[in-house]
Amino acid sequence: MKKIIVIFLVLSGLSPIFGQTVNFRGNIEIGFVDVYSHTIRFGQGASGTDFDYVNSGGQDILFPFQRITADIEIGSHNIITLLYQPIDVRTTVPYSASFNMAGTTFPADSVLDLRYGFDFYRLSWMWDFFKETDRILGFGVSLQLRDAVINFATADGTVLVDQRDVGPVPALKFRYQENIGPVFWVGAEVDGIYANIKILNGSVENEITGSILDASLRAGAHISENMDIFLNYRFLGGGAAGTSIDEANDGDADDGFTDNQLALGTVTLGVTIK
């Protein structure tokens, strides 16, 4: 949040350079996330097991959710959006069968400490086709930076698989917002891409098929000139499947294969400060 404030101040100072009016909007959402489906596999053949987080990993309950975004409107058409989206789900569950993950064997009747951390940061640009300040029809592009930490560990700490990854993911962006009378408004927003080639899937060397979909519907109300409140439903989904060349050639039992597929929904209450 402090970094976003600093960026606001810097851009305010650059307003004369832009030669256009610069406006700022900050959004904070708080609510819960429901994991619809989530499976993961590290390793092909006998070195990996398809693990179902919902049915076997304790992700069958609601988890806290928050989201922070900031819009920088330059003139009447350009919108730059900064996003910070933390996702860090931790569960402890008993698991009766033995299984393999990244070439590591977990014994039967283990108690597992699981962490699925998938924070991401996103920078977006859109061109708003509406000139009116109270309406938006924007199309543009996004660049998302994923920061993944995925852990499988026995509760006694004797067996551990720790997978970490940082990488860029490009996407297309759409946003729509329209007033319904003097107080209420509705809107929708989508960031998404499907890619099965290098670079577009966030990898320079690895042939990985990946996809993301971040789609929301919201309804809100103008509380004052400087504040809105809104209710938002969001679907977050996507995944990646493929082999990391570096991990496959590091000499460990892990062959570098990953298949991670996720679908979840969130319900949040939000506040917009203008």
182-196: per-residue pLDDT in tens? 999 999 999 999 876
In a domain, 2, yes or no: no
Give the confidence band of 242 by pLDDT, cuts at 50, 70, 90: confident
| 43-101 pLDDT per residue, tens | 888 788 999 999 999 999 999 999 999 999 998 899 999 999 999 999 999 999 999 99
**The predicted structure's pLDDT at residue 199:** 52
In a domain, 167, yes or no: yes
Give the confidence band of 18 by pLDDT, cuts at 50, 70, 90: low
For residue 126, pLDDT beyond 80: yes
**The predicted structure's pLDDT at residue 131:** 74
- The total of structural domains in the chain comes to 1
Domain that holds residue 50: 23-273
Q: Is 1 exposed, middle or buried (CB count within 10 Å of its CB: 0-12, 13-18, 19+)?
A: exposed
**The predicted structure's pLDDT at residue 24:** 92
Give the confidence band of 229 by pLDDT, cuts at 50, 70, 90: very high
Q: At which residue do the structure tokens 């819009």 appear?
A: 71
**Could you give the C-alpha distances from 167 to 39, 67, 88, 200, 256, in angstroms and in order?**
20, 20, 17, 11, 16
Q: Kindly report the pTM of this predicted structure.
A: 0.86
In a domain, 5, yes or no: no
**The predicted structure's pLDDT at residue 44:** 87
In a domain, 12, yes or no: no
Across residues 222-243, what is the average pLDDT?
93
In a domain, 15, yes or no: no
Q: pLDDT above 90 covers what percent of the chain? A: 69
- The helix/strand/coil state of 261 is strand
**The predicted structure's pLDDT at residue 207:** 66
Give the confidence band of 4 by pLDDT, cuts at 50, 70, 90: very low
What SS3 string covers 165-178?
EEEEEEEEEEEEEE
DSSP string of 112-150, one letter each residue = EEEEEEEEEEEEEEEEES--STT-EEEEEEEEEEEEEEE
Min mean pLDDT across 2-6, 42-46, 55-59, 115-119 is at: 2-6
The CATH number given to whatever domain includes residue 156 is 2.40.128.90
What SS3 string covers 18-62?
HCCCEEEEEEEEEEEEEEEEEEEEECCHHHCCCEEHHHHCCCCCE
Q: Is 9 exposed, middle or buried (CB count within 10 Å of its CB: 0-12, 13-18, 19+)?
A: exposed
Q: How far apart are CA 179 and CA 135, in angstroms?
A: 7
In a domain, 6, yes or no: no
For residue 11, pLDDT beyond 60: no
Q: How far apart are CA 136 and CA 27, in angstroms?
A: 16
DSSP element (H, E) containing 13: helix 2-13
In a domain, 234, yes or no: yes
The residue count of the chain comes to 274
Minimal CA–CA distance to 118: which of 212, 196, 220? 212
Mean pLDDT of the chain: 88
Give the confidence band of 247 by pLDDT, cuts at 50, 70, 90: low
Specify whether the backbone of 247 is left (phi greater than 0), alpha (psi in -120 to 50) or beta: alpha
**The predicted structure's pLDDT at residue 93:** 97
In a domain, 14, yes or no: no
**The predicted structure's pLDDT at residue 240:** 86
